[in-house]
A and B are shown apart, each in its own frame.
Chain A
Amino acid sequence: MDFCGKQVKADCEQLLKRFQRTQSVRFEIFARIWREMKFSQIFYGTVNHEKRKFSRLILDVASVFFLPPFSFQIRVGGLYLLYSLYQCQNASPSEQIRLALKDWVDVKTFEKDAIEAQHFDVVYILQQLMFCKAFHFTATPSLLTYNKKRKVERSPMHENFMERVSRPQELVNIELLEEMDNVHQHYENLKASTLSLTSAQQDPSVSLIRKNLVPQLRSTVVDFYNWQKRKDSVDEEEDSSEGPSSQQECSKRAGLLASIKSKAYGQAAEVSKSRRHRQVEVDFTSNEAPTLGRSRITKPSLKARTSENLHISGNLPVTTKNTTFPDLKHFTPVPALCAIPGLVLKKHAETGCI
Chain B
Amino acid sequence: MAASEQTTDANTNVPEYEYPDVNTKPFHIGSFKKEWLSRLKPSDYSYEEADEDAFHANFAREMGVSAETMAELKAVCSVDSLRCHPEDQQPDTEVVPPDPTLRTLVQRKERQDHRASLKKIKKNRHDLYADELERLTIGRKPETVTDMVPEGEIILTINVYYPAVFDKFNYIRPHMTLLMTGSHSLAELRDAVCCVSDLQVCGEFSNTPDVAPEFISKDHYKSAFFFFEGVFYNDMRFPECQDISSTTIEWAKSHNFPSYSQAKMEDTLLEDLKVKVGFPYLYCHQGDCEHLVIITDVRLAHKNDCLDKNLYPLLTHKHRVLTQKCAVCHVFIGRWYTTNDQFAPSDPCLFCDKCFRMLHYDAQGNKLGEFLAYPYVDRGAFN
Which residues of A does B touch, CB under 8 Å? Answer: 3-4, 7-8, 10-11, 14, 27-28, 31, 34-35, 37-49, 52, 68-69, 84, 87-88, 90, 93-94, 96, 98, 100-106, 109, 115, 120-121, 123-125, 127-128, 130-131, 133, 135-140, 142-149
Contact = CB atoms under 8 A, between A and B. Distances in A.
Contacts of A69: 1
Nearest to B300: A137
B97 interface: yes
B59 to A, nearest CB: 6
A329 B103 CA distance: 61
Contact of A146 (B22, B40, B81, B298): B22
Contacts of A100: 15
Given A140-B297, A149-B21, A101 B32 contact: yes
Nearest to A50: B127
A179 B93 CA distance: 65
Contacts of A31: 76, 81-82
Contacts of A35: 81-84
30 contacts: A31-B76, A34-B84, A37-B101, A38-B84, A39-B84, A41-B84, A41-B96, A49-B130, A49-B131, A84-B82, A90-B93, A96-B302, A100-B15, A102-B8, A102-B16, A109-B3, A124-B59, A124-B77, A133-B302, A133-B303, A136-B299, A138-B297, A139-B24, A139-B27, A140-B278, A142-B21, A145-B159, A146-B279, A147-B21, A147-B22
B166 interface: no
Contacts of B138: 52, 93
Contact of A139 (B65, B108, B277): B277
B116 to A, nearest CB: 12
A42 B22 contact: no
Nearest to B134: A49
Given A40-B83, A87-B82, A138-B297, A7 B94 contact: no
A41 B32 CA distance: 38
Contacts of B45: 133, 137
Contacts of A47: 94
B82 A38 contact: no
B100 A41 contact: yes
Contact of A143 (B65, B157, B303): B157
A55 B99 CA distance: 22
Given A123-B63, A145-B159, A40 B84 contact: yes
A102 B4 contact: yes
A139 B102 contact: no
Given A45-B109, A93-B304, A139-B27, 10 more contacts: A68-B1, A88-B79, A102-B14, A105-B3, A120-B73, A124-B77, A128-B77, A133-B303, A138-B300, A140-B24
Contacts of B142: none
Contacts, number: 204
A3 B110 CA distance: 13
B150 interface: no
A301 to B, nearest CB: 33
B261 interface: no
A94 B76 CA distance: 23
Given A4-B107, A136-B299, A136-B300, A44 B95 contact: yes
Given A4-B107, A35-B84, A144-B21, A41 B77 contact: no
Contact of A45 (B105, B139, B304): B105
Contact of A41 (B52, B102, B107, B297): B102
Contacts of B279: 146
Nearest to B109: A45
Interface string B290-302: 0000101111101
B102 A42 contact: yes
A104 B101 CA distance: 35
A100 B101 CA distance: 33
B106 to A, nearest CB: 8
B81 A41 contact: no
A96 B24 contact: no
Nearest to B173: A145
Contacts of B105: 41-42, 44-45
A100 B23 CA distance: 14
A325 B280 CA distance: 66
A251 B36 CA distance: 34
B112 interface: yes
B296 A115 contact: no
B170 interface: no
Contact of B107 (A7, A14, A121): A7
B55 interface: yes
A37 B101 CA distance: 8
A146 B83 contact: no
B36 A101 contact: yes
B86 to A, nearest CB: 11
A27 B138 CA distance: 32
Interface in B243-290: 277-280
Nearest to B95: A45
A44 B98 CA distance: 11
B23 A44 contact: no
Interface string B56-85: 000100010100010001001101011111
B7 interface: yes
B156 to A, nearest CB: 9
Nearest to A131: B55
A41 B52 CA distance: 28
Contacts of B130: 48-49
Contacts of B83: 35, 40
A34 B82 contact: yes
Contact of A124 (B22, B23, B73): B73
A8 B104 contact: yes
Contacts of A123: 59, 63
B44 interface: yes
B282 to A, nearest CB: 13
A140 B15 contact: yes
Given A31-B82, A40-B84, A144 B277 contact: yes
B35 interface: yes
B232 to A, nearest CB: 21
A142 to B, nearest CB: 7
A105 B35 CA distance: 12
A149 B20 CA distance: 10
| Of listed A42, A44, A98, A105, residue having the most chain B CB within 10 A | A44
B184 to A, nearest CB: 17
Contacts of A133: 44-45, 302-303
Nearest to A90: B93
Contacts of A14: 103
